[in-house]
Amino acid sequence: MKKIVLVLVIFSLILFTAIIKNSAKKNEDKLFTVKENIRILNSELEKIKLEFDFLSSSDKLLEFQSLYFENDLIQKKIENIKVFKITNKDKEIKNLKIIRD
């Protein structure tokens, strides 16, 4: 009788250990996946912040213009800007309308 009880106790301890280990492994896998997603999103956020910082400053834009587009960019009059509009199968060119609040 004592041997049967001892075997049942050992078997139940092994079973509970396996169940706990399995659930811990599943939780670790979920945690790893979440950490990887966070790492990827943080990397994208840093790239977007860097792009925003460089392109949002007017001084930086003027500096880039002088560095890369010194003779390529010319100033246009706003009245000469046209809008090409495609609706269904119709195509039309209109003048740009500026609305001031």
**Helices within 57-97 (DSSP H only):** 58-68
pLDDT at 87: 84
At 57-98, the pLDDT tens digits run 777 777 777 777 777 767 777 778 888 888 888 888 887 777
Dihedral-angle region of residue 88 (phi above 0 means left; psi in -120 to 50 means alpha; beta otherwise)? left
Do the strands 90-95 and 82-87 form a parallel or antiparallel pair, or are they unpaired?
antiparallel
- For residue 55, pLDDT over 90 is answered with no
Name the more confident of 8 and 78: 8
The identity of residue 27, as a single letter, is N
Domain ranges of the chain: 2-71
Report the distance separating Cα 60 and Cα 66, nearest Å: 10
pLDDT grade for 14, boundaries at 50, 70 and 90: very high
Q: When comparing pLDDT for 95 and 26, which is higher? A: 26
pLDDT of amino acid 73: 67
Which pTM was predicted?
0.46
Share of the chain above pLDDT 90, in %: 42
Asked whether 93 and 82 are in contact (CB, 8 A), the reply is yes
Question: How many whole angstroms separate alpha carbon 65 and alpha carbon 78?
Answer: 20
Is pLDDT at 99 greater than 80 in this prediction? Answer: no
